[in-house]
Amino acid sequence: MNRGHTSAPSSPRPGETEKVIDDSVLSQVIKDVGATQATTVLLLFAGELERRIGEVLEAASGPDVEALRRVAHGAKGSASTFGAPRVAAAARRLEEACKSAAPAVEIASLAQRLIEHLQPAATEVRSRLSVLEEADHV
Amino acid sequence: MSEAILLIEDSPAQAAVYKAYLEGEGYSVVMAGSGEEGLRALEERAVAAVLLDLQLPGIGGFEVLERLRRRSSRIPVVVVTDYGSAENASEAVRLGAADFVTKPFDRGRLKVTIGNAIRQGQLATMVDKLQEKFSRDRFHRFVGGSAPMQAVYRVIESAAPSRATVFITGESGTGKELCAEAIHRESPRHDGPFIAVNCAALPRDLIESEIFGHVKGAFTGAVRQRDGAASLADGGTLFLDEIGEMDLELQAKLLRFVQTGQFQRVGSGEMIKVDVRIVCATNRDPLEQVRQGRFREDLYYRLHVIPIHLPPLRDRGEDVIDIARQFLAKSADEEGKAFVRFSAEAEQMLRDYAWPGNVRELENVVRNVVVLHDGESVLPAMFPPAVARRTLSNDVGEPFAKTEAKSATSPDEPAVSRAGTEPPVQAMTVLPLWEVERQAIESAIERFGGNVLRAAAALEISPSTIYRKRQAWEQRRDATATTADD
């Protein structure tokens, strides 16, 4: 389910993982939170991935690199918790670039790359959510 | 009721996951989306632990830890860190975090970490409470945290809730009335009256009236009926100080009062019943008084239900400094003087002196210094001659005052001299140092009729040093004997 965001294709680049969602991690989260909470938690995560797109765009267009670092850090934490390795890796690279005061062009490029991974991850999470809901109905 | 965990996490998705993990383990979860919100929540409700994300909007996780530390909070905090940020984890632990979990973590890992942190917090709280209970340096009006006083405080606390009679012994000036007051304040009777009667301060024939009251015309000068201390103490505590001074006839009346709670006013046949808890005190050895026929044995056993012995000041270690500082502040304030401290040398003199008059003597000495001198520091030269010369340092007082007043230099007790001021037994023979020491110590013990405590005070060492050295000499002797046998 696409919520209307457009994004560039997020095919992996050299060094990037193939998986948009690591099902072993996500399945563990779903198991640990329990069936009744799983839908809520996945909905929140999908929404958070989508919200991050706007946050990265806003922070990257402003002068506050620290604000961009905080957004990247937040994206990294959630992505690693739920098993979104491409988002986690892209967020980590952006966070490190911000911390090391990398050239603006490099930071902008990494921000762009993170955005490219956020929407596909959200889409994948929502597809897992549909599967869960269907299983509930069955 | 389940234990509550405060979860401080700004990501709603992650917060939902952690909340589900914790609720799945039986905890209730209080949510906070920022550091400020989390600190507010901690003021409003008690939680067993905090799960804290380090990266937060507004005040961050490190600042939250710092503020909790400044509040001396004992609530264990588990921080959530990212993979590869070991320096954040160690900084968090340095700031007081109990533990950390690294993302991503599963429910099992969080369960173990939070469980351990809660147990750690419970242990820390328990240790705090025990320390508070057993390491107090103040207790009611007592000052001092020495081990002997900790024992006294514990007995007072244990005895206070009961109605049982307390018998306080101790040298003059050790705080027997403070002890009685503390018992009263700790007891369920603390809202009732605390009435103290000093049996040594009144003429013998007035003590009965002082304790039991009298009716009009009971004796010359009894122009109106007067309630005694026993009536005034109804519902509270009656403290009979210096009870060893009470004559045998009055002791019989006191015995009846202790047995029945009833008494008659002087000159009256009417029995009056009151609800009074009796605490009594003496600076004499009560059993010795019983043996000498000066104190009724039946009364002794009626009163001697819970004994409390107050240690002399010389056995209270550093308490002498704490008490002296308090007296200095009080006297300087009252006298408008600038004294704020004792010099290091002056403090050493306070430790060295034997204080035969105990805390009362210390108070007088400090007052003397403050009145007669000026300055910010009390110096050795300001002390009265007796303390300055430490001539009384061996006159360590008696565990109990003798029935007949006796000078420390009376013929039947050798004038005390400090070890080393007399020539050793075999001064002309060169002996091993340990043997010289042994002879000096044994000689002092002999001089005090086997009283190790007094010998130790005279030698200006602790009794435990004597016991330790005696043990070492025995071992040396045994070893020598074994070698000889071989």
pTM, two decimals, is 0.48
pLDDT in tens, B358-377: 999 999 999 999 999 999 99
3-state secondary structure of B461: coil
The alpha carbon dihedral of B350, B354, B359, B361 has a sign of negative
Residue A103 within a domain: yes
Split into its structural domains, chain A has a count of: 1
Position B426 confidence tier, pLDDT thresholds 50, 70, 90: very low
Residues 6+ apart with CB under 8 A from B471: none
Range of the domain at B443: 433-485
Position B419 confidence tier, pLDDT thresholds 50, 70, 90: very low
Chain A residues 95-124 within an 8 A CB cutoff of chain B? none
Final residue in a domain of this structure, among B309, B324, B344: B309
Site of tokens 């892209």: A90
Same domain, B151 and B284: yes
Whether B397 has a pLDDT exceeding 70, the answer reads no
Q: Select from A78, A128, A129 the residue whose CB has the most chain B CBs within 10 Å, as the one to mutate to test that interface.
A: A78
The alpha carbon dihedral of B143, B146, B152, B155 has a sign of positive
Q: Please tell me which residue, B461 or B164, carries the higher pLDDT value.
A: B164
Q: For residue A137, what pLDDT is reported?
A: 64
- Read off the CATH number of the domain in which A80 is found: 1.20.120
A82 part of contact set with chain B, CB < 8 Å: yes
**Within 10 Å of residue B90's Cβ, how many Cβ atoms?**
13
Q: Please tell me which residue, B403 or A33, carries the higher pLDDT value.
A: A33
Final residue in a domain of this structure, among B132, B155, B186: B132
- Read off the CATH number of the domain in which B253 is found: 3.40.50.300
Across A25-40, average pLDDT: 91
Q: For residue B282, what pLDDT is reported?
A: 94
Q: For residue A6, what pLDDT is reported?
A: 42
Chain B nearest CA to A36, separation (Å)? 10
A45 neighbourhood in chain B, CB within 8 Å: 13
CB B155 within 8 A of CB B308: yes
Q: Could you say which DSSP state residue B196 is in?
A: E
Instruction: Pick A77's closest partner by Cβ from B12, B103, B108.
Output: B103
CA–CA separation, B13 vs A50, rounded Å? 12
Interface of B with A (CB under 8 A): 10-14, 16-17, 20-21, 24, 53, 55, 57, 80, 82-84, 103-104, 106-108
Chain B nearest CA to A93, separation (Å)? 13
CA–CA separation, B393 vs B353, rounded Å? 5
Which residue on chain B is closest to A72 by alpha carbon? B55
Q: What distances in angstroms separate CA A53 from CA A105, A111, B154, B445, one per listed residue?
A: 19, 10, 65, 88
Whether B303 has a pLDDT exceeding 90, the answer reads yes
Chain A nearest CA to B333, separation (Å)? 56
Q: Select from A22, A44, A50 the residue whose CB has the most chain B CBs within 10 Å, as the one to mutate to test that interface.
A: A44
Instruction: Pick B14's closest partner by Cβ from A73, A78, A92.
Output: A78
The alpha carbon dihedral of A2, A4, A6, A7 has a sign of negative
Q: What distances in angstroms separate CA A72 from CA B55, B139, B304, one per listed residue?
A: 11, 56, 76
CA–CA separation, B368 vs B379, rounded Å? 13
Q: Please tell me which residue, B339 or B134, carries the higher pLDDT value.
A: B339
- Read off the CATH number of the domain in which B75 is found: 3.40.50.2300
B17 neighbourhood in chain A, CB within 8 Å: 29, 32-33, 41, 81-82
A67 part of contact set with chain B, CB < 8 Å: no
Strands B213-214 and B226-227: what pairing? antiparallel
Chain B nearest CA to A73, separation (Å)? 8
- Read off the CATH number of the domain in which B361 is found: 1.10.8.60
A132 part of contact set with chain B, CB < 8 Å: no
CA–CA separation, B199 vs B211, rounded Å? 9
pLDDT in tens, B101-135: 998 899 999 999 999 999 988 888 887 777 666 67
Residue by residue, DSSP assigns B162-179 as S---EEEE--TTS-HHHH
Same domain, B354 and B459: no
* CB-based contact B16 A48, cutoff 8 Å: no
Split into its structural domains, chain B has a count of: 4
pLDDT in tens, B227-247: 999 999 999 999 999 998 898
A28 part of contact set with chain B, CB < 8 Å: yes
Same domain, B443 and B361: no
Same domain, B156 and B248: yes
Residues 6+ apart with CB under 8 A from B363: B327
CA–CA separation, B27 vs B269, rounded Å? 70
Range of the domain at A115: 23-137
* CB-based contact A33 B57, cutoff 8 Å: no
